Every structure is written in C-alpha cells, then in structure tokens.
Amino acid sequence: MKKLCALILSTCVVASTGVMTGFTLENNAKTSLVSNCKSAYLMDYGSGECLYKENETMRTPIASVCKVMTLTLVFDAIRAGELNLTDVVTVSENAAGMGGSQVFLDKGCEYTVDNLIKSIIVCSANDSCVALSETVAGGEEEFVARMNAKATELGCNDTLFANCTGLPRETQYSCAKDVAVMFSNLIKNEDYFRYSKIWLEDFVHPDNRTTSMTNTNKLIRKYSFCDGGKTGFTNEAGFCLASTAKKNDLRLVSVVLGASSSDDRFNSTVKMFDYGFANFKNKVVLDKDVTLNDEFAVRGGKKDSVAVRPERNSYIFSAVDKSPEITHNVIAYEVKAPVAPDTVVGKIEVYKDGVLADTVNVVAAEAVERASFGDYFVQIADNWNL
C-alpha cells in the first residue's frame, strides 16, 4: 500500500477525538431476498450501514435469539473483571429445572463459566443461561432488568426482554434491526468466535456423564464464510436467525425473524449474505504496517522527530460501483522524550465524502531516547557551525 501523502490535509492541530459515523446506503436489491419471513435486516458490521431491510422495526417474539443479550451481559461481566472463564458455578434447582434446549445440568454440581458459555452458543442451553444469570446478577429477574437496560443503552427501543432464555412468556419482543445491533455488539468480543465455530462436541459433566452438543446454526457447515450465529424457534416466534459472515475484509450481520421453516431462515440468510458480498466492499485507507511520510516533532530527544504509523487499519465501506472521496486530517500531539514504540502521539481523522467516518490513533513507530547533556552540547555545536 502506498504511503499516505497526497490525501493528508495540511492542518495539524490538537483536537478532541471524533466519533465514527455512518449513513445508510440505498437498498439496491431489486426483489425480496427473503422467503416466508416476517422481517429481515442486513448490515455492514464495521460501519453499521444498512444494506437490506424488510419490516425491520416490526415487534415480534425472537425466541432463543434473546440469548444474544444474555451472552452480552456475561461477556461484559468478564471484561469488567467481575467474572472469569475459569470461575466455577454451582447450579441451582431453578437452573437445573429449565425446559427446552438444555445440556441437563445437575442441581448442586459445579461447572466452569467457560463450559456454560460454550453450551449456550453451541446448543442454546436454557439451563446454562439461568445458571449464569444467577451468578452475574444474583437472580434471573435482576439479570433481565440489566438486559433491558443494555438494550436501551444500545438504542434498541423496539426490544423488551422477559427472561434470559427466550422461552415463551407474555410481553417480550424485539425487531430485526435491534437484533442486528445487539448481535453486532456481542461479536465485538473475540472470545465469542472460539465457541461459535464448534460444530459437534461433548459436554462433560462432573460425574463424567456427557451430553452431545450440535451447533444449531447449520450455516457453520453449509456456508463457508459464516462463523457465528444464534438460532431461535417457538411456535409464536417462528424460525429465527441472527448470524455473521466474513469474506476478505468485509464482515456482514444478517437477521431473519419469523420464518415459516428452518430452511427458509437459512436460505434467506444465504441470499442476503451473497447479495452483500457481491455488491459492497471494504477498502483499506490506512495501513497499520505503513509509516506516514511526515514524522512528528519530539521535544528533548536524541532525535528531533519520530517516525509514526496508524495504530490499526482503517476501512471505508461502500458499494462496489462507487468510489467515495477519501481525505485525512493528521493531528499531532505535543510529544516529549523519551518515547517508546507504540506510544500514542496523535490521531488521523478519516473523511468519506466530507463526512467524518473514522478516527485512528497515530503511534510512534520507533523509540526516541531523552537527550543527555552531551547531546545538547553536540546540538549547540552543530547549530554554531551552521
């Protein structure tokens, strides 16, 4: 990739961090991409832009897809240090008595958080959901309150949870758009993908009894780009699926709700993914492995400048037949020696067609040591010779 030069704007000032924004692309699909489904939604994971939608805000039961939020709160607790994968959970009578999909946890027995999460993601275990909800929040009722608070935080205003499993209960619903937002938030946790690609595995109980787990998301085997998803079914909700697929640098999130059959939900999802990958792209506009042409000034160092690079790659999403105008604004912070490699020394604002699309930290690509008295003497001598 060529080094940034022509695209860099000349202004270099200290400013507050920009917020990534996105704007919805026109839905270019000529005909419906889904069959016998109540609602559907397809979005780009990185930008959040909608690529396809049908009845996307229609409120409907989502069955076990609600476990997307159950898992979100569990991963949030792990990230906050309130829970560890190696922690042991003692299963209550309430959790062990759950019906529907389950791994048949034994009352009073101990299971690791890691295995409980795995059973939820792979085979939608209701008993594991309740066991973890009681561990995280002290009880399912408080846990559900947190689920609804998190939905509000994410802007999911057409969502209401009544339990952590999705088992039928009055007054619980969501919509295709909200599910896409919640699922996108869940898969920010890289650990999620350690479990989501498991197809078949035995769940081992403390007494060495085993329960066979098979992934309910059949696209893991049927669609090569799919690496995660959550199914759901009740008579009221129909067949539901939230899933994600990645091809090259483009990750998509798809949701279908209320399908008439299991095949309808999987086939409709494949059609949406194929449509997205055929018509949209992500372009790398900043490469973390490429240093910028201009170095940043350093005060009090053995060198008076430091080589810099973007902290991460930046991608710009667009339709394959469009070439948006990409510009950059480099912002340099005041930098004092010593400087260690990967120290944040500024940022780059990335603009797509004049709209702020991403903000990326700029980091030092090398070390710069603090200048000694001798270094200052040499600098004075060099300046004197000039």
| Cβ neighbourhood burial of 207 (10 Å; 0-12, 13-18, 19+) | exposed
CA distances from 338 to 231, 300, 366 (A): 52, 8, 11
pLDDT above 80 for 21: no
- Of the listed ranges 102-116, 155-169, 367-381, the one predicted with least confidence: 367-381
Q: Exposed e or buried b for every residue in 350-381, given b needs 16+ CB within 10 A? A: bbbeeeebbbbebbbbebbeebeeeeeeeeee
Mean pLDDT of the region 53-82: 98
State both tokens at 76: 């949030």
Domain range annotation of the chain: 8-21+287-385, 39-280
| Cβ neighbourhood burial of 5 (10 Å; 0-12, 13-18, 19+) | exposed
CA distances from 326 to 109, 350, 358 (A): 57, 7, 11
Residue at 115: amino acid letter: N
DSSP state of 311: S
Q: Which pLDDT band, with edges at 50, 70 and 90, does 30 fall under?
A: low
The tens digit of pLDDT for each residue in 245-291 reads 999 999 999 999 999 999 999 999 999 999 999 999 999 999 999 99
**Peptide bond between residue 338 and the one before it cis (omega within 30 degrees of 0):** yes
In 10 A of CB 13, how many CB atoms?
8
pLDDT of residue 19: 28
Q: What is the mean pLDDT of the chain?
A: 90
**H helices within 59-196, ranges in order?**
67-79, 93-96, 113-123, 126-137, 140-153, 176-186, 192-196
Cβ(65)–Cβ(240) under 8 Å?
yes
The DSSP result for 172-187, as a single string, is -BB-HHHHHHHHHHHT
Nearest residue to 125 (alpha-carbon basis) of 4, 194, 42, 212:
212
Q: Which pLDDT band, with edges at 50, 70 and 90, does 329 fall under?
A: very high
Do 8-21+287-385 and 39-280 show the same overall fold? no
- Of the listed ranges 129-138, 251-260, 366-375, the one predicted with least confidence: 366-375
Domain 39-280 in CATH 3.60.150.10? The answer is no
Please give the model's pTM, rounded to 2 decimal places: 0.84
Cβ(100)–Cβ(169) under 8 Å?
no
| CATH code given to domain 8-21+287-385 | 2.60.410.10
Nearest residue to 299 (alpha-carbon basis) of 342, 345, 363, 348:
345
| Cβ neighbourhood burial of 75 (10 Å; 0-12, 13-18, 19+) | buried
Q: Which pLDDT band, with edges at 50, 70 and 90, does 17 fall under?
A: very low
Q: Exposed e or buried b for every residue in 322-344, given b needs 16+ CB within 10 A? A: eebebebbbbbeebebebeeebe
Can you tell me the distance from the alpha carbon of 83 to that of 92, in angstroms, rounded to the nearest whole number? 18
| Helices first, then strands: H and E counts in the chain | 10, 18
State both tokens at 12: 């270099």
CA 141 to chain centre: 27
pLDDT of residue 247: 96
Residue at 281: amino acid letter: K
